[in-house]
Structure 1
Amino acid sequence: MVFVERDANGEIVAIYRSPQNNAHEELALHDPQIVAFLGASNSDFNHSDTALIRVIEDIVDVMIEKNLLRLTDLPIAAQEKLLSRKTLRQRLSNSLDLLVDSDQGLL
């Protein structure tokens, strides 16, 4: 069992192991409301992770451009992942370029 805190709309905003000032309602861990709340949190984390990965890739690119880091300084697995993602981004960028005529804008 867990204790939940709800907002003014009745939506769960926090889950605790023990009662808190704003969390007296007790629910089972398998309660659909708990499952939905945890699933939404997981989705938020996944979105945040994806954005953070892109930031880290950009930082690595800038460090390489400024000769602060060499790709070969990184472990082989990291090199492979960075190169793979860079290749995928270039392919996506190139496929999007097919939709644009530089003289006329979008086709």
Structure 2
Amino acid sequence: MPFVKRNAEGAIVAASHEAEGDCVEEVSEEELQASGFLDRLAGSRGGEAGQLASSDLELVRVIEDLVDLLVDKGIILFTELPASAQKKVLHRQQLRSRIGGSLDLLGDD
């Protein structure tokens, strides 16, 4: 699990694979991703690598919404997904509900 440093507002401003320096708070990788820190980092890289990383994060949300739609329409059963996929989807849903849906990766598209 990664370790992070937060600013006065509580936003993650640094991350490390190990507890070192100011990065002493351990968080899950999902929480780190949900915080938007990785988006900001990818955006600061620029170029095609940064664009690809950013689009990966956006595509994750699209896939989540697609799974929800297929389940809602009865096309697939949630329990038909592999156990590891179920666990990951449920964990991301819990994270998103805790942060109040403030991630708007899809915008108004």
Task: Give me the TM-score of the superposition, normalised by structure 2.
Answer: 0.48
Higher relative contact order (CA 8 A, sep 6+): 2
